[in-house]
Amino acid sequence: MILSAQPDMTVAGEAGDGAEALRLLREVRVDVVVMDIRMPVLDGVAATAELSTWVDGPRVLVLTTFDTDEDAFAALRAGASGFLLKNAPPADLLAAIRVVAGGDAVVAPRVTRSLLDRYVVPGEPPRPPVGRDVRLDLLTDRERQVLLLVAEGLSNAEIGDRLRVAETTVKTHVGRILTKLGLRDRVQAVVLAYETGLVRPAC
């Protein structure tokens, strides 16, 4: 009801599980899929992974709760463009859908905090990275600097203020970073930065 009431949104369909969603999406073209994690038959992570293989497939916004971060990160790695808590206010949901539809990603500070919690346990040494990614060698020094700030959860405007450059310049850098690394959006860039050890926060 909330989505249908928006003048710039149309609800193309609803599905009760991931398998049904994939069947529906083969028949109906959409821009954004709001995907639940916990579903019968085929869960949201598997459905998102399948959608990420489609040419010009829809972008995915995952719904999760505080205690399902592990699943949420699996969905991000599978190709989701962000995630939102189920108890988020309607205005936040609408804003997130518009951001994802516009080609960007939802990378809130909570996402970054959860990444820190995932890779760094207080009192223990940081988890080892999954391995060095040679694609990082393609980045210029400035692009690497921008990637580090993206991994902190900063917006383009905030990165521009930090580096004292125009927001449009930051957007250009981010676009080049995603192209060089073969990533869909900022969320996957954040995950890559942590998984490869580019970002190694202190305990």
- Model confidence over 35-67: pLDDT tens digits? 998 888 999 999 999 998 898 889 999 887 755
Q: What is the mean pLDDT of residues 6-28?
A: 94
For domain 128-195, give the CATH number.
1.10.10.10
* 118 secondary structure, DSSP code: H
For domain 18-106, give the CATH number.
3.40.50.2300
Same topology, domains 18-106 and 128-195? Answer is no
* Cα end-to-end distance, the chain, whole Å: 44
Task: Give the pLDDT confidence score for residue 123 in this predicted structure.
Answer: 46
Domains of the chain, by residue range, sit at: 18-106, 128-195
User: For residue 203, what pLDDT band results from cuts at 50, 70 and 90?
Assistant: very low
* Of the candidate ranges 8-17, 81-90, 110-119, 141-150, the one whose mean pLDDT is the lowest: 110-119
pTM of the model: 0.67
- Mapping DSSP onto H, E and C, the string for 46-103 reads HHHHHHCCCCCCCEEEEEECHHHHHHHHHHHHHCCCEEEECCCCHHHHHHHHHHHHCC
Task: Give the pLDDT confidence score for residue 166 in this predicted structure.
Answer: 94
